[in-house]
Structure 1
Amino acid sequence: MFSTETIERLLQVIPHNELYSSPIKGLFLRHSDQPFCYEGIIQEPSICIVLSGEREVQLGEQCYRFDNQYFMFCPVNIPMRGEIKCAEPQKPFLVMSMKIDIESVSKILLANPNLADDVQKGDEGFAQWHLDESLKNAVERLFLLHENPKDIEFLAPLIQQEIYYRLLTGEQGYKLKAMVSIGSHTQKIAQSTHYLQQHFSETITVETLANLSGMSLSGFHSHFKKITSLSPLQYQKSLRLMEARRLISQEGRDITEAAYQVGYESPSQFSREYKRYFGHAPKGDIK
Structure 2
Amino acid sequence: MNALVDLLSDMATLDGGAVESCLKGVRFFKDSKPVRRRPMLYNPGICIVASGYKIGHLGGRSFRYDADNYLVTSVAMPFESETHPGEDEPLLGMFIDIDMTQLVDLISQMELQTEVAKVTANDFPLGVGPSVMNADMKDAAVKLLKALRSEREAKILAPGFVREIYYRALCGGQAQVLYSLVKGSGSFAQVARVINMMEGEYSKKLDVEQLAEAANMSVSAFHKAFKEVTADSPLQYLKKIRLARAKDLMVQQNMKAYLAADQVGYESPSQFSREFKRYFGRSPAEIMRETRSA
TM-score, normalised with respect to structure 2: 0.79
Residue 6 in structure 1 maps to residue 9 in structure 2: no
1:1-287 to structure 2, matched below 5 A, reads 4-11=1-8, 13-16=10-13, 17=15, 18-36=17-35, 42-59=41-58, 62-86=61-85, 90-113=88-111, 115-119=112-116, 120=119, 122-124=123-125, 125-147=127-149, 150-245=152-247, 250-254=254-258, 258=261, 262-263=265-266, 267=270, 270-287=272-289
Kept after mapping to 1: 8 A contact 2:70/2:133: yes
Distance 1:132 1:154 in 2: 26
Aligned-partner SS, 1:224:
helix
Aligned-partner SS, 2:30:
strand
Kept after mapping to 2: 8 A contact 1:202/1:263: no
Distance 1:44 1:248 in 2: 19
Once the 2 structures are TM-superposed, how far is the Cα of residue 29 of structure 1 from its aligned partner?
0.9
How many residue pairs align between the two structures? 280
Once the 2 structures are TM-superposed, how far is the Cα of residue 47 of structure 1 from its aligned partner?
0.7
Kept after mapping to 2: 8 A contact 1:10/1:146: no
Distance 2:186 2:36 in 1: 34
Distance 1:101 1:243 in 2: 21
Residues 59/148 of structure 1: CA separation in 2 closer, same or farther (3 Å cut) = same
Kept after mapping to 2: 8 A contact 1:60/1:234: no
Distance 1:260 1:157 in 2: 34
Residues 62/200 of structure 1: CA separation in 2 closer, same or farther (3 Å cut) = farther
- Deviation by residue 1:217-274 (Cα, 9 ceiling, x = unmatched): 233222222322322121111123334545666322459x94897336593x555433
Kept after mapping to 2: 8 A contact 1:243/1:262: no
Kept after mapping to 2: 8 A contact 1:33/1:93: yes
Per the alignment, residue 292 of structure 2 pairs with none
- Deviation by residue 1:42-80 (Cα, 9 ceiling, x = unmatched): 422101111111123344665543212222211122234
Greater shift in the superposed pair: 101-110 or 17-26: 17-26
Once the 2 structures are TM-superposed, how far is the Cα of residue 191 of structure 1 from its aligned partner?
2.4
Aligned-partner SS, 1:137:
helix
Distance 2:134 2:60 in 1: 28
Greater shift in the superposed pair: 54-63 or 182-191: 54-63
Once the 2 structures are TM-superposed, how far is the Cα of residue 129 of structure 1 from its aligned partner?
1.7
Distance 2:199 2:9 in 1: 38
Aligned-partner SS, 1:34:
coil
Distance 1:229 1:172 in 2: 17
Q: Gapped runs of 5+ residues in structure 1? A: none
Aligned-partner SS, 1:214:
coil
Kept after mapping to 2: 8 A contact 1:75/1:179: yes
- Deviation by residue 1:2-50 (Cα, 9 ceiling, x = unmatched): xx23145304542422522222342111123233469676422101111
Kept after mapping to 2: 8 A contact 1:247/1:258: no
Distance 2:142 2:242 in 1: 38
Q: Aligned Cα RMSD in Å? A: 3.2
Provide the identity percentage: 29
